[in-house]
Structure 1
Amino acid sequence: MKGFNILRNTLLASVTSVLLLSTAHADDALKMDLTVNQVIKNAEGKISYVPVRTAPKGTVIQYKANYLNTINKDIQDLAVVLPIPANMTFTGEASPASAQASTDGKNYMDMPLMRKVNGKMVKIPFSEYRTLRWNIKLLPAQKTAAVSLNTIVE
């Protein structure tokens, strides 16, 4: 059933991103393509990405969204959001690294997220991160911007 969860969560991530974007721009201004790949590191440390539909617990999965500006006009100050799917834990790896994170999908801060515990500031565990947001200052006409995050199957 893990495969079902990955596919279902991929669709949820896709729908969430599109809904958030369509509130700021015309529905046809941006096209989003979401890919789901297993992250594989070989003995020499080289990383490769292999499309995946199912994966066992502990597998590192990358969600990558490519946003294409389909109009003949630049888009400025674009915010794109990717949720961290259920049954997945964020690894702390995001690209671009300028991503902000949220534990509630509403309030975003620079990573690492912090909170006060017994009077001391401590890092919030990645397992509590629910969404990441990237602020793209400029997406030129007919160009693409890519964002990605890595997760581990729980």
Structure 2
Amino acid sequence: MKFFNALRISLLASLASFSLVSVAHADNALQMELTANKVIKSTGGKVSYLPVSTAPAGTTIQYKATYTNTINKDINDLMVTLPIPANMIFTGEAIPASAQASTDGKNYADMPLMQKVNGKLVKTPLSEYRTLRWNIKLLPAMKSAAVALNTTVN
């Protein structure tokens, strides 16, 4: 049940988490579809994905958001974010890898995030990552772009 609630929270947050820097578009110019899939890696290294609504601790889940430009004009500089649900831990895998991360949902930086601990600069634990953000430089008219992040059920 925790996973399903996290997915619902993530979906609601994601629906509200995009912005258009260039606003030469009509209302409803962008559609977003969010999916959650269990990541299955075979012994040969092949990766497959299965839709999931519940999962035990330790399961790897990929959240994927596909953004579709529904108008006949390009959309430039589309900023999109995906939250990491509270009961999930980011694995460090983001697609595309150009994502920036945040521990507070406000301040973003390139990964890996760094912090000072006892005067030394160290990597921020992945368990502290709360949101990822991507800049889709160009989403052509009538085309789609996808972003994704992998998490582990805590």
3-state SS of the aligned residue for 2:18?
Answer: helix
Change (3 A) 1:19 1:27: farther
Separation in 2 of the partners of 1:27 and 1:110? 31
Match of 1:123 in 2: 123
Q: Shift in Å at residue 27 of structure 1? A: 4.9
- Is there any run of 5+ residues in structure 2 with no aligned partner, and where? none
3-state SS of the aligned residue for 2:16?
Answer: helix
Match of 1:19 in 2: 16
- Is there any run of 5+ residues in structure 1 with no aligned partner, and where? none
TM-score by length of 1: 0.92
Separation in 2 of the partners of 1:29 and 1:22? 12
Separation in 1 of the partners of 2:74 and 2:20? 17
TM-score by length of 2: 0.92
Match of 2:62 in 1: 62
3-state SS of the aligned residue for 1:107?
Answer: coil
Match of 1:146 in 2: 146
Match of 2:113 in 1: 113
Q: Shift in Å at residue 72 of structure 1? A: 1.1
Q: Deviations over 1:127-148 (max 9, x none)?
A: 0000000011110111101000
Change (3 A) 1:102 1:27: farther
Q: Shift in Å at residue 13 of structure 1? A: 2.0
Match of 2:137 in 1: 137
Q: Deviations over 1:59-105 (max 9, x none)?
A: 00000000001111111011000000120000000000000000000
Separation in 1 of the partners of 2:85 and 2:106? 16
Contact 2:6 2:86 survives alignment (8 Å)? yes
Opposite residue 132 of structure 1, the aligned amino acid is L
RMSD: 1.5
3-state SS of the aligned residue for 1:101?
Answer: strand
Match of 2:94 in 1: 94
